[in-house]
């Protein structure tokens, strides 16, 4: 088993390539995995997973949600229908993110941010323990559009989520020797936020995130992740202060706290 696991990890490492754009140290580069496909976003908005374990098939055949990005929708409510007692007990979720893999790329222009759509799909759910609670990852695979609001110009982003080990930050992650999990809205404008993000990652704040003053809400801070997004790696998690304020409340209230993360 150990040999097979090491072989799998080695295969992942072969595809790693440095990415220009952020400063690099002369220290020996750490080896970290590179992701060819986007990581899954969790229902909480806090975590993303390289490979969630033991996915469960749901009997649901369609869902309705609001488009967050080309591969993500937000559902008002979701319950994974299935025969297993555990499924019936664990998974009544509110205000959750679901990853969408379209069966036909020609449907991609229909994924307009802010639009409400209904998709038919093969739906799976995965659960990962993070400390004393479960994080849920939802996936709609082989998805096709059934209906939707009339198309309109994209709406302003209304929520955010964390992306772990994005390829844009491979170079920085290698110099730090740590995996990076970064708020997607920070990553989206890396040409503007890159220097601040790198400085925050190097000046790691090693304590649990806490609410911050409103005048500092947009500042980027990084924390040593008290949980994990992958069992084999320790993380640095970076986001704006208003995101950490949101997460501190989410941490206390769990799935009963239904407010979307700040964009």
* Digit-coded pLDDT (tens) for 64-114: 999 999 999 999 888 888 755 455 555 578 888 999 999 999 999 999 999
Where do the DSSP E strands lie in the chain? 40-41, 48-49, 56-57, 62-69, 72-79, 92-102, 116-130, 133-148, 162-164, 179-183, 220-224, 235-240
Give one DSSP letter per residue of 179-194, joined into a string.
EEEEEHHHHTTHHHHH
Q: What percent of the chain has pLDDT over 90?
A: 32
Alpha carbon distance 30, 173 (integer Å):
8
**Residue 30 placed within a domain:** no
- Closest by CA position to 88, among listed 120, 56, 119: 56
Residues 177 and 126 in one domain: no
Who has greater pLDDT, 227 or 134?
A: 134
Alpha carbon distance 240, 244 (integer Å):
7
Structure confidence at residue 102 (pLDDT): 95
Boundary-marking domain end, from 85, 117, 148: 148
Residues 140 and 172 in one domain: no
- DSSP class of 205: B
Who has greater pLDDT, 116 or 37?
A: 116
Residues 260 and 165 in one domain: yes
* Digit-coded pLDDT (tens) for 138-197: 999 999 999 999 988 888 888 888 888 888 998 998 888 888 889 999 999 999 999 999
Alpha carbon distance 116, 75 (integer Å):
10
**Residue 201 placed within a domain:** yes
**Residue 77 placed within a domain:** yes
Give the predicted TM-score (pTM) of the model: 0.74
Boundary-marking domain end, from 148, 168, 185: 148
Boundary-marking domain end, from 118, 148, 178: 148
Residues 129 and 214 in one domain: no
**Residue 180 placed within a domain:** yes
Residues 111 and 176 in one domain: no
> The CATH number of the domain where 123 resides is what?
2.40.50
Range of the domain at 208: 160-263
- Number of structural domains (the chain) is 2
Residue 240 tokens read as 């704006």
**Residue 11 placed within a domain:** no
Pairing between β-strand 62-69 and β-strand 72-79 as defined by DSSP bridges: antiparallel
């Amino acid at each position: 088993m150990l040999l097979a696991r090491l072989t799998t990890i080695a295969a992942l490492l072969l595809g790693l390539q440095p990415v220009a754009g952020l400063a690099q140290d002369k220290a020996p580069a750490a080896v970290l995995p590179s992701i060819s496909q986007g990581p899954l976003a969790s229902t909480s908005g806090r975590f993303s997973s390289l490979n969630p374990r033991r996915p469960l098939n749901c009997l649901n055949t369609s869902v309705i949600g609001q488009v967050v990005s080309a591969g993500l929708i937000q559902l008002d409510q979701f319950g994974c229908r299935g025969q297993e007692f555990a499924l019936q007990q664990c998974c009544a979720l509110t205000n959750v993110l679901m990853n969408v893999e379209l069966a036909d790329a020609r449907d991609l222009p229909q994924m307009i941010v802010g639009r409400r759509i209904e998709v038919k799909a093969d739906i799976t759910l995965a659960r990962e323990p993070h400390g004393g609670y479960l994080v849920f990852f939802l996936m709609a695979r082989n998805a096709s559009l059934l209906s939707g609001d009339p198309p309109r110009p994209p709406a302003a982003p209304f929520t955010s989520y964390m992306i772990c080990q994005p390829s844009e930050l491979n170079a920085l992650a290698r110099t730090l020797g740590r995996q990076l999990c970064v708020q997607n809205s920070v990553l989206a404008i890396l040409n503007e936020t890159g220097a601040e993000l790198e400085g925050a990652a190097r000046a790691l704040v090693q304590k649990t995130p806490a609410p911050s003053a409103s005048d500092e809400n947009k500042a980027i801070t990084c924390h040593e992740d008290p949980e994990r997004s992958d069992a084999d790696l320790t993380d640095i998690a970076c986001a704006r202060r208003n995101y950490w304020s949101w997460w501190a409340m989410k941490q206390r209230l769990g799935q009963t706290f239904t407010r979307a993360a700040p964009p």
